[in-house]
Amino acid sequence: MPRREQAGARAETATTSHSSTPRLERLKRDLVGLVGWRRWAAAFALGALAALALPPTFLLPLLVPAFVGLMWLVEESRAAGRAFADGWWFGFGHSLAGLYWIFNAFVVDAPQYGWMAPFAVAGIAAGTALYPAAATALSRLAFGYRDPGAHGRVLVLAALWTAAEWMRGWLLMGFSWNLIGSVWVISDAMIQLAAVTGVYGLSLVTVAAAAMPATLTGAAAGGRRWLPAIMAATVLVLVWAGGALRLASAGDQAVAGVRLRLVQPNIPQHLKWQRELRRGHVVNQLWMSTQPPASDAGPAAAPTHVIWAETAVPFVLADSPSLIAALAGAAPPGGLIIVGAPRTTSAGVEPRRVWNSLFAIGPGGRITATYDKFHLVPFGEYVPFRGILDIPKLTAGRQDFSPGPGLRTLALTGLPPVSPLICYEVIFPG
């Protein structure tokens, strides 16, 4: 055989032995070769796959094909504009699949709000999809400016995805739902990393690990082509091990002598604010608050603090001293009853404002502390861009709620320092 042909044969053999499996190569080629609506549909489906890793389904292995597919689409895009479209359709599928529950809020009062449900859910999903779209477009620009190599491209995408999640949490209205790092709430050990890095550190590690198998396509150095994917999986194992060690060495931080009673009357949302039923709702919760404690082992120690839910009191407390007295009567001796209720500006003060608030009330009827919710639910507690969107909010009352001043740490009788969060506020890191 001539020398040139021998060299060609050796090169061909080397390439074949060092490339990833033909099946992966073919899968990548088929995916990145899609154009038009087929490409958009594929990106949408990949995003929906990623959403299935989130609570309550926790199908975590689906993150791998989802982010591997996204990585392939982005790195093979010819321009940032195409990468933006790929990221938007991925994000749209991810958000639409993950925000299905918003539909339920609109059908509580279906005759009035049901028609809005598909438009609201699709609109929110379309808006939040702009963040992954920005991440993929910037990734494509970074690859073109100075290509960091296959493994570096994965890290760039993971970093920009995480940055986009962070921006989504505070830009405009702020919406920190469905962060990728939250897939790990299924494991107490895994989420210990959030104590150091916040949920965004978990997102960074998770996206990088899920997308790293994308590097198995193309020429690689023999069997070492698996090394980056193995290292990414090892990082996840180390995160778990570190978290397990932290949990094993954690001390019991329970405060002696504190016994909480949580009151949950399970009132259907469509009945909660009906004028003729409101008094009965409060009376029922007062009864639940004052029942003798019991356990499977018999009588138990009395509660020191009673806690009601968000807006469990469907009245303005300042307008009803007798209601405050009734609530104070349900407060344990030496403790507090902590309730949710709307709060308004004083009579005659203009403009009139309304807050979604927490009240701590002692046995003597004194309100010892208040907290006003500051992260409000768009369309639920206020309508964004009210000057343009002349539509009612989903909750009772014609007036939008006003945001409170922000996080507060309360000093409440018999309790360690407390920083309350009301409902929607718990999804915001920090």
Which residues are the active-site residues? Answer: 310, 373, 423
For residue 21 the two structure tokens come to 């499996």
Instruction: Tell the residue number behind the tokens 């379309």, with chain if given.
Output: 126
Give Cα separations from 62 to 3, 54, 68, 206, 210 (angstroms). Answer: 48, 10, 10, 12, 9
Rounded CA separation 290/287 (Å): 5
Residue corresponding to tokens 């001539």: 2
Residue with token string 């409060």: 282
Phi, psi angles (nearest 5°) of residue 307: -125, 125
Q: Give the DSSP per-residue string, 180-220.
A: GGGGGGG-TTGGGGHHHH-HHHHHHHHHHHHHGGGGGSSB-
Written as six digits, the tokens of 372 are 């006003």
CA nearest neighbour of 98 among 179, 28, 219: 179
Stated length of the chain: 430
- Tell me the residue type at 414: G
Q: Are residues 367 and 324 in contact, defined by beta-carbon separation less than 8 angstroms? A: yes
Which residue has 């591997």 as its token pair?
68
Q: Which two tokens stand for residue 16?
A: 């074949």
Tell me which DSSP letter residue 430 carries: -
CA distance 283 to 26: 67
Token code pair at residue 190:
């895994």
Angle ∠(239,174,44) on CA atoms, nearest 5: 70
- Residue 315 has what DSSP assignment? S
Rounded to an integer, what distance in angstroms lies between the CA atom of residue 56 and that of residue 71?
26
